[in-house]
Homo-oligomer: A and B are copies of this chain.
Amino acid sequence: MLAAMAANTKRSFDLSAYVQRVTKSVDAGLDKFLPSTSTKPATIHKAMRYSLFAGGKRMRPALLLAAADACGGKWNDALPLACAVECIHTYSLIHDDLPAMDDDDFRRGNPTNHKVFGEGIAILAGDALLTEAFALAAKAKGWPRYSHKQIVAEIALAAGSLQLIAGQVADLEGEGKKTSVDQLRYIHERKTSALLCASARLGGMSANCNAAQLKALTSFGYHVGLAFQVIDDILDVTKTSEQLGKTAGKDIAAQKATYPSIVGLEKSHKIAADLTARAFASLKPFKGKARALEALAEFLLKRQN
């Protein structure tokens, strides 16, 4: 969990307690908003909840709620959106793990969805979580400056064929081929940054942020997202499966291009540090009020799994 990992981060801001609050709120929100495992047909709701409650780090909801905090918002107004981005993230993992995609048997130390429920149900559970994300956005009561129209458009853009899905397609098509650092950035921007960036923006929007704040959150989310993915690439080659809680070295096994494989480990670390510095610089307009976002960004750069 992010909470336990964050305990090692030394900062005046108590990130560990913050992330625990996030996890508690998001878990309660998901449990409240989504159909129970006894709702008919039980199989699909069990499969959806199996992956939703499989120890995810809740990184996207954390960014979303921290962005809401930076803009003086209330978590109650942001929570349906925090749950929505977690549904999108979880759906994308379920589908990515399928045999026709990354063919992964383990995720966060547990068997992947299709290993437990079979491929057919896993595909449908992903479909249902994607649909649920929009149901959640529609469920939220609304926000003074931003309409449901804008919020739904924001989620659909980040999750759609120009962003999240584009990243997965480029990733699939790039396997075993020589990839330039520009192509790799294209993949990472879409596969990871897009939803993290949307999470930060949605948090601001839920808090009725102004245009300058939205711009700052956009830049912050983009850079944190890219940094996060570069670090993911680094960890995949430097850590064991046990340390990661998922299959290590799978990028190499799948002949996937990564930052370390293209520019080397040392330069990859520098790129990650540079991206994080840019993320921090983006937060200047908040004049110290974005402490949770700062703490999250610093933690994400120092993480070991």
- Using a CB–CB distance below 8 Å, which chain A residues touch chain B? 35, 39-41, 43-45, 48, 91, 95, 98, 100-101, 118-124, 126-128, 130-132, 134-135, 137-139, 142, 147-150, 152-153, 155-157, 159-162, 165-166, 168-170, 172-173
Contacts and interface: CB of A to CB of B under 8 A. Distances in A.
A101 B123 contact: yes
A233 B45 CA distance: 28
Tallying the copies of this chain within the complex gives 2
24 contacts: A39-B162, A41-B170, A48-B161, A95-B124, A100-B118, A100-B119, A100-B122, A100-B123, A101-B123, A124-B172, A127-B127, A127-B130, A127-B165, A130-B131, A131-B160, A131-B161, A132-B160, A132-B161, A134-B156, A135-B152, A135-B153, A135-B160, A138-B156, A142-B149
Contacts of A149: 138, 142, 148
A127 B39 contact: no
5 residue pairs, one from A and one from B, having the closest CB atoms = A100-B119, A135-B156, A128-B161, A138-B153, A138-B152
B119 A131 contact: no
Q: Which of A118, A119, A138 has the most CB of B within 10 A?
A: A138
Nearest to A91: B127
Given A131-B161, A156-B131, A161-B45, A123 B123 contact: yes
A125 to B, nearest CB: 8
A44 B100 contact: no
Q: Which of A48, A126, A161, A166 has the most CB of B within 10 A?
A: A161
A45 B161 CA distance: 8
Contacts of A124: 95, 165, 168-169, 172
